[in-house]
Amino acid sequence: MAQEGQPPQQPGPAATMAGEEQLDLLMQELRSKATELFLREQWAQSLQVYSQLISLCQDRISSGALLRASDQDWLSKLQKSLCLALSNRAVARYRMRDLDEALRDCDEALGIENAHFKTLLCKGRILLELSRYAPALECFRLASLDPQAIANLEALSRLLERCRKLDLQSRTGNFDLSDWVLGGFRGELPELAEFVGAVEIKKSDLSGRGLFATKNIDTGTLLVVTKAIAIERGILLGEELGESKQLVMWKSFVNRVADSSSKCKRMSQLIGKLSSGEEDMGELEVPDIAIFRPEKEGDVTCSNHQETIEMGRILTILDVNSLVEDAISAKVLGRNRDYYGVGIWLLPSFINHSCCPNARRLHVGNHLIVHASRDIKVGEEITFPYFDVLAPLEMRRKMSGNWGFRCSCKRCKFEEEISSKQELKDLEIGLELGMDLGSLVYRLEEGMRRWGVRGKQKGYLRASLWGAYSGTYGSEKIMRRWGRRVPTPEVVVESVVEAAGGDERVVKVGVEQVKRSGGGGVVEMERVFKLGRGLYGKVMKKQALRALMEL
Ligand SMILES: C[S@@+](CC[C@H](N)C(=O)[O-])C[C@H]1O[C@@H](n2cnc3c(N)ncnc32)[C@H](O)[C@@H]1O
């Protein structure tokens, strides 16, 4: 026992040796237990045992640094064990989707052995999942230099190839879904990189913040491609069952978002930037677009960030920002089209609604692709429709009410002013009551002439009474009677697309017209392809556009 006032005595060399042997044994036991759990893919349990092993290694290394600094062999053996344990714990954490912590373990392991093969593979995979393609590529490149790479050559070259492709996509925006579309969406979903095009976040006249074009953008150009933070899908059968199932799905969706935000600091910081609808819209912080770029790593500076977002706030954020995949204004491509799916995507959450939108969204797997649905001028706000905009003002008011806001777009403002015209109200009522569609179109066109409605505004009103136009053009009988007194389908399709962006129902009328006229000349076909690009984006080549448009 140490005498009072005297320093504790160091154990003698024999006692130290015995203690060390015991610790060696304990380490061996922990290692084999952890390995067994790891091989059985019991990730949570193996993580626990690896953590004990790691602490023990670290304690021994730090105390050993004092006791046996000269024994390099002993030290390097311990460091090797530590590196391997960290590397395996990283894999367990990666499998448990705890990517932040897994990455930390990889970095610590690589701090000990900077070219540790298994760790480089694990780190590369994590970075790939975080859409950080260039550093992932570097990990796989370094791993491919290791002698162990020979046994894994095929897998490694596939990973290298994937990273190269995704890195190029994310830098250039060169995406091409044509082969997949032409193959009837068969086989695996195409792998897509995250991409941020010529856009920035600014204060919006519509509400709070919005996304804006930083240069002139032509129809079909990609604006944003991004992976969902969380998505929940299910098949809904029957209304009753559907509603309760929807509730179960919603709960699971909320839990997924809460889980992502609790496991990744950057994710929670980014989610924290979304509106919960409870703030003063004018006071909302305008984040720099750079923080949403895939190559952005680490922390996001944030003035009022709390480490974890409380459940109540997550719920309100989801209420405002989540999107349903198969909304009438979106298009689901490929295998998830039979499902009801709800998800949340970060950057698209800054896109406001407009009843005269200029962008559209496509869903491919868990990715959301936003492209220009018509030509956009530099500085113009990017908007997509949250609900069906081929409807009269009153109906749109109800739909935006369901979303919890009153739409303040140009088209709504214009239609509010002009809706004092009793004649227009009568036409809207007439459409609901099944009035003769040809006469309805004729009377609206006449009215617009008398009221002095011109240019885009004509497109607004035509979009509002689209039901009458499509019914007229779709009926030979009505066309025989009214055909000479109403504008041609080409004129109306063009003006509605110009005013309300690409929409499948409108474009279909245009395509049918071309088919009826026997295929159309070069100019006409170019016009149709432009409509197609507005609908499906430049991610499709002409052949694929033809297939989608049934041309
Ligand atoms: C997904 S957020 C869009 C981004 C939001 N402006 C922001 O600053 O975070 C949806 C919310 O934006 C507002 N909003 C979107 N489009 C609008 C519009 N056309 N008119 C008025 N408010 C709109 C509504 O409050 C809506 O609930």
Position 428 scores a pLDDT of 87
Picking from 363, 382, 401, the residue at the C-terminal end of a domain is: 382
Give backbone dihedrals phi and psi of 287, rounded to 5 degrees, phi first.
Answer: -75, 155
Ligand 1 atom with minimal separation from the 409 CA: 19
Query: CA-CA-CA-CA torsion for 314, 317, 323, 324, nearest 10 degrees?
Result: 50
The answer to whether position 12 is within a domain reads no
Co-location of 343 and 489 in the same domain: no
Co-location of 378 and 397 in the same domain: no
Three-class SS of 332-368: EECHHHHCEEEEECCHHHHCECCCCCCEEEEEECCEE
Ligand 1 atom with minimal separation from the 349 CA: 1
Of 363, 358, 392, nearest in space to 376 by CA: 358
Position 302 scores a pLDDT of 46
Task: Give the mean pLDDT of 230-251.
Answer: 82
Instruction: Give the strand order in the sheet containing 323-324.
Output: 230-234, 340-344, 323-324
Co-location of 401 and 376 in the same domain: no
Co-location of 259 and 111 in the same domain: no
Co-location of 32 and 148 in the same domain: yes
Picking from 382, 409, 444, the residue at the C-terminal end of a domain is: 382
CA of 477 to the centre of ligand 1 (A): 43
Co-location of 360 and 397 in the same domain: no
Map tokens 């952890």 to a residue. Answer: 34
This complex has an ipTM of: 0.99
Q: How many CB atoms lie within 10 A of CB 284?
A: 16
CA of 527 to the centre of ligand 1 (A): 33
Ligand 1 atom with minimal separation from the 412 CA: 19
Residue bearing the bigger pLDDT, 339 or 332: 332
Q: Which pLDDT band holds residue 370 (cuts at 50, 70, 90)?
A: very high
Position 282 scores a pLDDT of 81
Alpha carbons 550 and 538: distance in angstroms, whole number: 17
Co-location of 318 and 343 in the same domain: yes
Which residues constitute the domain of residue 269? 195-382
Ligand 1 neighbour 410 (Cβ under 6 A) = no
Ligand 1 neighbour 352 (Cβ under 6 A) = yes
List the beta bridge partners of residue 202: 210
Taking only the tens place, the pLDDT of each residue in 270-301 is: 999 999 988 888 889 999 999 998 776 655 55
CA of 352 to the centre of ligand 1 (A): 5
Of 367, 430, 411, nearest in space to 227 by CA: 367
| CB 518 within 8 Å of CB 538 | no
The answer to whether position 98 is within a domain reads yes
Is the pLDDT score of 7 beyond 60?
no
Alpha carbons 37 and 43: distance in angstroms, whole number: 7
Co-location of 217 and 242 in the same domain: yes
Is the pLDDT score of 240 beyond 70?
no
Two structure tokens written together for 277: 């609808």
- One-letter amino acid at 5 equals G
* Protein residue closest via CA to atom 23 of ligand 1: 207
Ligand 1 neighbour 353 (Cβ under 6 A) = yes
The answer to whether position 248 is within a domain reads yes
Tell me the three state secondary structure of residue 55.
helix
Taking only the tens place, the pLDDT of each residue in 380-411 is: 999 999 999 999 999 999 999 999 999 999 99
Alpha carbons 239 and 245: distance in angstroms, whole number: 10
User: 3: which residues sit within 8 A by CB, 6+ positions away?
Assistant: none
Task: Give the mean pLDDT of 45-50.
Answer: 97
Q: Backbone dihedral region of 452: left (phi > 0), alpha (psi from -120 to 50 degrees) or beta?
A: left
* Protein residue closest via CA to atom 20 of ligand 1: 407
Tell me the three state secondary structure of residue 421.
coil
Picking from 339, 363, 382, the residue at the C-terminal end of a domain is: 382
CA of 213 to the centre of ligand 1 (A): 17
The answer to whether position 181 is within a domain reads no
Of 341, 302, 346, nearest in space to 321 by CA: 346
Alpha carbons 405 and 355: distance in angstroms, whole number: 13
The answer to whether position 526 is within a domain reads yes
Q: Domain with 274 in it: what CATH number?
A: 2.170.270.10
Map tokens 């023990």 to a residue. Answer: 56
The answer to whether position 280 is within a domain reads yes
Residue to mutate (ligand 1; options 405, 409, 413; most atoms within 8 A of CB): 405
Is the pLDDT score of 35 beyond 90?
yes
Ligand 1 neighbour 208 (Cβ under 6 A) = yes
Map tokens 């409380």 to a residue. Answer: 310
The answer to whether position 5 is within a domain reads no
CA atoms within a 13 Å half-sphere pointing along the CA-CB vector of 104: 9
Two structure tokens written together for 321: 């920002």
The answer to whether position 92 is within a domain reads yes
Ligand 1 neighbour 276 (Cβ under 6 A) = no
Tell me the three state secondary structure of residue 518.
coil
Is the pLDDT score of 266 beyond 80?
yes
Cβ-count burial 337-370 (b if 16+ within 10 Å, e if not): eeebbbbbbbbbbbbbbbbbbbbbbbbbbbbbbb
Ligand 1 neighbour 275 (Cβ under 6 A) = yes
Position 307 scores a pLDDT of 62
Q: What is the C-alpha R_g of the chain?
A: 30
Structural domain count of the chain = 3
Ligand 1 neighbour 321 (Cβ under 6 A) = yes
Co-location of 300 and 442 in the same domain: no
Alpha carbons 467 and 461: distance in angstroms, whole number: 11
Co-location of 375 and 398 in the same domain: no
| CB 217 within 8 Å of CB 375 | yes
CA of 209 to the centre of ligand 1 (A): 8
Average pLDDT of the chain, as a whole number: 89
Co-location of 44 and 165 in the same domain: yes
Taking only the tens place, the pLDDT of each residue in 168-199 is: 999 999 999 999 999 999 888 999 999 999 99
Co-location of 201 and 339 in the same domain: yes
